[in-house]
Structure 1
Amino acid sequence: MIKHKDHFHGSDLEKIEEIYGIPKEQITSFSANVNPLGISPKLRSSLIDHIDAITSYPDREYASLRAQIGAYVHAPAQSILVGNGSTELISLFIQMEHPKKALILGPTYSEYEREISLGGGTSLYYPLREEDGFMLNVEEFKKSLNESIDLLVICNPNNPTSTAISQDTMRKILDECKRYDIFVMVDETYVEFAPDAAEVDSIPLTRFYNNLVVLRGVSKFFASPGLRLGYAVTGNADLLKYINTHKNPWTINSLAAIAGELMFSDTDYIKKTRSLIDTERTRIYKELQSWDGVKVYEPAANFILARILKPGVTADDLFEHAIKKGLMIRNCSTFPFLDNTYFRFCFMSPEKNTELLACLKELL
């Protein structure tokens, strides 16, 4: 197993406050990858009206919530499973599949490897190559699949590379995995930020492949990590039945269930988010491409990965320089295959993004 070093997560503002003496309220986290618009206005104004919901148990079946999610992702409600954040669902599906050997596209989120290890399984990484811009070469990748692999894990768009796999390419992967009886788990935490989400979305494929589960949550796009609301979509009826009979009831509290019904229907918020991210992603990518001190990789999510080319400057240096100005970026040396020349940051408001670019340019 690849060893992961200690690092600052986007939610570790208390640690930053303790170490650097900067009040957490004065820190802008470019590390958390959360929607800069904050929570949906529709949710903010309506949730207080539903506060009495906490006096009763939520519906065990979460029928209304699953119907709303189904309308949002264009999938039948019966193929949807809800959980306490996508992290719980990652754990749940890995426990159910209980893989002896899993293949993970990396560098990526370390929680997949951790959960597989907790279940006694072994993780192998298929490295996305820097010389390919961290884009997957599907024909080369297919050669690495064989009958010894039980589970394939793909983050799409991927964290931290911000690269994405198209739906057509995912079909090729799924076809090859069917040959070897490999189950595929696709984490789509960031798919709604993609320039053309429909081109990357794997949920339509759940109608045709029973070896696929797609996971999503509300933490990033809907800026609601504290709600702990996630959902999974799969066309594998036997797997859904097994999980529903083994999982704990009421994994989502009443307010989170109501919040989900409200936020998924806030079309104005969804449009504003996509417009802001599209504009800032294009602007920042073009700006960084013009710098001699960094190499950037074309982003598909709401964050961008960069590699420092300037001699004598490391991601540690850049982090220290930015945090002293109350700007928190992510040192990516903790991810498999990346070293201390890689850093990542998400897109915030145009003003804050401009402030961060000016800060980074001072060293780069």
Structure 2
Amino acid sequence: MQLIHQHGGDLDAIERKYGIPKNEIKDFSGNINPLGFPKIAERALAENLSIISTYPDKKYTALRQAISNYSGAATEHIVVGNGSTELISTFIQTVHAQQSIIIGPAYSEYEREVSLCGGTFSYFPLKEEDNFCINLPALLDALTADIGMLVICNPNNPTGTAFTTVQLEEVLLHCKKIGASVMIDETYIEFSDNLNEICAIPLAEKFDNLFVVRGTSKFFAAPGIRLGYGVSSNQSFLHRLITNQDPWSVNSLAAFAGEKIFSDKEFHTTTQTLISKERKKAFAELSTWKNIKAFPSSANFILLRLLTDKTTAAELFEKLIQKKMLIRDASSFTFLDESYLRFCILSPEDNAALLKEMKLWVE
């Protein structure tokens, strides 16, 4: 079943193929916060289910204010959508660039949307010899006058590496000169230790060719509510984006939940502390293994490369799923092969169990 190796977190597909109840699987593939959905928001939703009988505010005023307080973006620069995927799709459709560059490896949705719009794209590679960090001069050389859009996931999925805000400003200046729009997907940035050094939202005030998009699926463990938001200072673009969206794209429950989760500062801090501590611990352990290379990460996951012919990522996937542990075979990502795999940070106990089991097969 090819789907299993290509998409993280597809527990229903795993359950069907392997006969393992999905509630018994430790999902190291989906990159979702192990703390689960914020309890404050969960209780508030349970007590206010009657809001499903009313339409949401068409301008999402309270939700956008909560996002502004959380992210630092100006309220008038914020647009909300039915998950970050809708905003990514709508932005790409709105820009309608004939030629785009995508920083790769990357989430397949970017290239899919570019293709659906009739555009062409090329990948600019993050290279292993650079530890998957950006070669900025080479990227600027690749951004020629015929490029209409640049797509960056920051931190990158699946490598975990990140552009700095200083580097992003240089990229935006160059793209402004050539008339290119820039979309930066910050899905994983809230898990970073150095968020203030890599965040693009402060640049939105200065550059009107920038669109920053975030979701709630990963950090807030809320893929089911389908809530995302974007930030841009380009008012004509925001108007086109909203015009192209379906009315009430975000439902009443999602809007209400968003107001609660973005203001739950204790949840934000607890998550960042847990992920930071466990990521450092896992990376330190993996760095002592002789048959694996672990790459430094600013996200809540770690990319690994097998340095042995004892097993492949696909074979390790099969061995671990029998132990009810689901990792991501990363070979389907552009530029990666069968030696690459990715796992996300869960609880201390789960992380220790995964590394113990993995070591049996790898070392």
Give the superposition deviation at 1:317.
Answer: 1.2
Equivalent residue for 1:246, pick from 237, 240, 244: 244
Counterpart for residue 194 of structure 2: 196
Q: Which residue identity lines up with residue 362 of structure 1 in the other structure?
A: L
Does the CA-based 8 Å contact 2:4-2:13 persist in structure 1? no
Query: How many residue pairs get matched?
Result: 361
Deviates more, 1:67-76 or 1:185-194: 67-76
Local SS of the residue matching 1:343: strand
Counterpart for residue 285 of structure 1: 283
Distance, in Å, in 2 between the alignment partners of 1:135 and 1:163 is 6
TM-score by length of 2: 0.98
The superposition leaves residues 300-345 of structure 1 with CA deviations (integer Å, 9 ceiling, x where unpaired) of: 1000000000123100111011100000000000000000000000
Distance, in Å, in 2 between the alignment partners of 1:248 and 1:17 is 34
Unaligned stretches of 5+ residues in structure 1: none
Q: Which residue identity lines up with residue 75 of structure 1 in the other structure?
A: A
Counterpart for residue 72 of structure 2: 74
Local SS of the residue matching 1:143: helix
Distance, in Å, in 2 between the alignment partners of 1:323 and 1:247 is 40
The superposition leaves residues 163-182 of structure 1 with CA deviations (integer Å, 9 ceiling, x where unpaired) of: 11110110011111111111
Counterpart for residue 110 of structure 2: 112
Distance, in Å, in 2 between the alignment partners of 1:196 and 1:233 is 20
Does the CA-based 8 Å contact 2:4-2:10 persist in structure 1? no
RMSD (Å), alpha carbons = 1.1
Counterpart for residue 184 of structure 1: 182
Distance, in Å, in 2 between the alignment partners of 1:25 and 1:53 is 29
Distance, in Å, in 1 between the alignment partners of 2:35 and 2:183 is 29
Distance, in Å, in 1 between the alignment partners of 2:55 and 2:145 is 45
Local SS of the residue matching 1:226: coil
Task: Output aligned runs, 1:290-309, within 5 Å.
Answer: 290-309=288-307
Local SS of the residue matching 2:224: helix
Distance, in Å, in 1 between the alignment partners of 2:338 and 2:114 is 26
Counterpart for residue 333 of structure 1: 331
Equivalent residue for 2:84, pick from 78, 83, 86: 86
Does the CA-based 8 Å contact 1:5-1:334 persist in structure 2? no
Task: Output aligned runs, 1:132-143, within 5 Å.
Answer: 132-143=130-141
The superposition leaves residues 181-217 of structure 1 with CA deviations (integer Å, 9 ceiling, x where unpaired) of: 1100000000000112111110000000011000001
Counterpart for residue 161 of structure 1: 159
Give the superposition deviation at 1:8.
Answer: 4.4
Q: Which residue identity lines up with residue 277 of structure 2 in the other structure?
A: T
Give the superposition deviation at 1:6.
Answer: 6.9
Counterpart for residue 311 of structure 2: 313
Counterpart for residue 30 of structure 1: 28
Equivalent residue for 1:261, pick from 248, 252, 259: 259
Distance, in Å, in 2 between the alignment partners of 1:228 and 1:321 is 33
Q: Which residue identity lines up with residue 85 of structure 1 in the other structure?
A: G
Distance, in Å, in 1 between the alignment partners of 2:141 and 2:263 is 42
Counterpart for residue 363 of structure 1: 361
Local SS of the residue matching 2:142: coil
Query: CA distance change for structure 1 residues 192 and 201 in 2, over 3 Å: closer, same or farther?
Result: same
Q: Which residue identity lines up with residue 44 of structure 1 in the other structure?
A: E
Distance, in Å, in 2 between the alignment partners of 1:302 and 1:96 is 31
Does the CA-based 8 Å contact 1:6-1:334 persist in structure 2? no
The superposition leaves residues 42-67 of structure 1 with CA deviations (integer Å, 9 ceiling, x where unpaired) of: 11121112111111101100011001
Identity %: 48
Does the CA-based 8 Å contact 1:217-1:229 persist in structure 2? yes
Does the CA-based 8 Å contact 2:79-2:238 persist in structure 1? yes
Distance, in Å, in 2 between the alignment partners of 1:218 and 1:196 is 19
Query: CA distance change for structure 1 residues 5 and 55 in 2, over 3 Å: closer, same or farther?
Result: closer
Distance, in Å, in 2 between the alignment partners of 1:30 and 1:245 is 38
Does the CA-based 8 Å contact 1:152-1:185 persist in structure 2? yes
Equivalent residue for 1:209, pick from 207, 210, 220: 207
Give the superposition deviation at 1:7.
Answer: 2.9
Give the superposition deviation at 1:134.
Answer: 0.3
The superposition leaves residues 112-165 of structure 1 with CA deviations (integer Å, 9 ceiling, x where unpaired) of: 000000111111000100011000011221111101111000000000001111
Does the CA-based 8 Å contact 1:319-1:331 persist in structure 2? yes
TM-score by length of 1: 0.97
Does the CA-based 8 Å contact 2:152-2:185 persist in structure 1? yes
Q: Which residue identity lines up with residue 57 of structure 2 in the other structure?
A: D
Give the superposition deviation at 1:248.
Answer: 1.5
Local SS of the residue matching 1:227: coil
Distance, in Å, in 2 between the alignment partners of 1:351 and 1:246 is 46
Distance, in Å, in 1 between the alignment partners of 2:258 and 2:84 is 14
Give the superposition deviation at 1:249.
Answer: 1.0
Unaligned stretches of 5+ residues in structure 2: none
Counterpart for residue 52 of structure 2: 54
Does the CA-based 8 Å contact 1:34-1:219 persist in structure 2? yes
Q: Which residue identity lines up with residue 295 of structure 2 in the other structure?
A: Y
Query: CA distance change for structure 1 residues 8 and 127 in 2, over 3 Å: closer, same or farther?
Result: closer
Local SS of the residue matching 1:10: coil
